[in-house]
Structure 1
């Protein structure tokens, strides 16, 4: 049996998991099936592991804050004729424990053991901490 791996990606221009959800309801963020997707130039080499229950973890404002289950990877040919990968996602955005993450380009693999846990359902609607406090708590290992 294949193991499972996640992806991690910066959500550029997103302020909160709620603004990510709002963006994903726009036609430009959806495929013809109405599901949200993220289009990337590189095709993941570890496709089988990703499709074995993997999620994409979203870095928002310098912190991993949410994830979405990956349904499938679709080939998309751009207007420029270049083959791209559409990472097709479950519409539900699941809030996770907040973990500080430095900026990086593209997406990266994220091992299951290194993935932050989901927030309990009753905490998913908690107000966000001010960014300075969140950084200070992350620096001392409390979040």
Structure 2
């Protein structure tokens, strides 16, 4: 069973904002690389079908398949480069409290893809309001 990673989306309030930011700063076809300070010790499990789930303003809204994990540099300058699939998959909006860095996310705790949930085209704001009210 794959293991996933979860990280806060800093600087973007929605998935659309993140995609627009990406489109203005990188050439089409350029690899999507998320850089972080700590290299995961369970990288093999993440590479076995795992995804990076992103939290926007306290709600998990999207995921991208993890393609590669590499440590770049040495010592205090070392960083981890996580290469992601270009496809950004929307997931069922799921509340998540703030945290620093990234965390592992077990498959049993990961939200379902929005297409698989058969929820229709519910706007993100409405889905968030329904979840906060406990109605969804």
TM-score (norm 2): 0.85
**Alignment partners' CA distance in 2, 1:22 and 1:39:** 19
Normalized per residue, the structure richer in helix is 2
Output one character per residue of 1:48-95: Cα deviation in whole Å (capped at 9) or x when no partner.
0000000000000110000000000123238x9611101100011000
Worse overlay, 18-27 or 85-94: 18-27
Against the structure 1 CA distance between its residues 4 and 101, is the aligned structure 2 distance closer, same or farther, given a 3 Å change threshold? same
Q: Tell me the matched-pair count.
A: 133
Picking from 108, 112, 116, the partner of 1:113 is 108
How far 1:138 moved relative to its partner?
3.7
Query: Do structure 1's residue 137 and structure 2's residue 131 form an aligned pair?
Result: yes
Distance 1:93 1:114, change over 3 A: same
1:125, distance to aligned residue in structure 2 (A): 5.9
User: Aligned equivalents of 1:123 and 1:93: distance in 2?
Assistant: 18
Residue 52 (1) aligns with residue 48 (2): yes
Which ranges in structure 1 are unaligned for 5 or more consecutive residues? none
Structure 2 unmatched runs, 5+? none
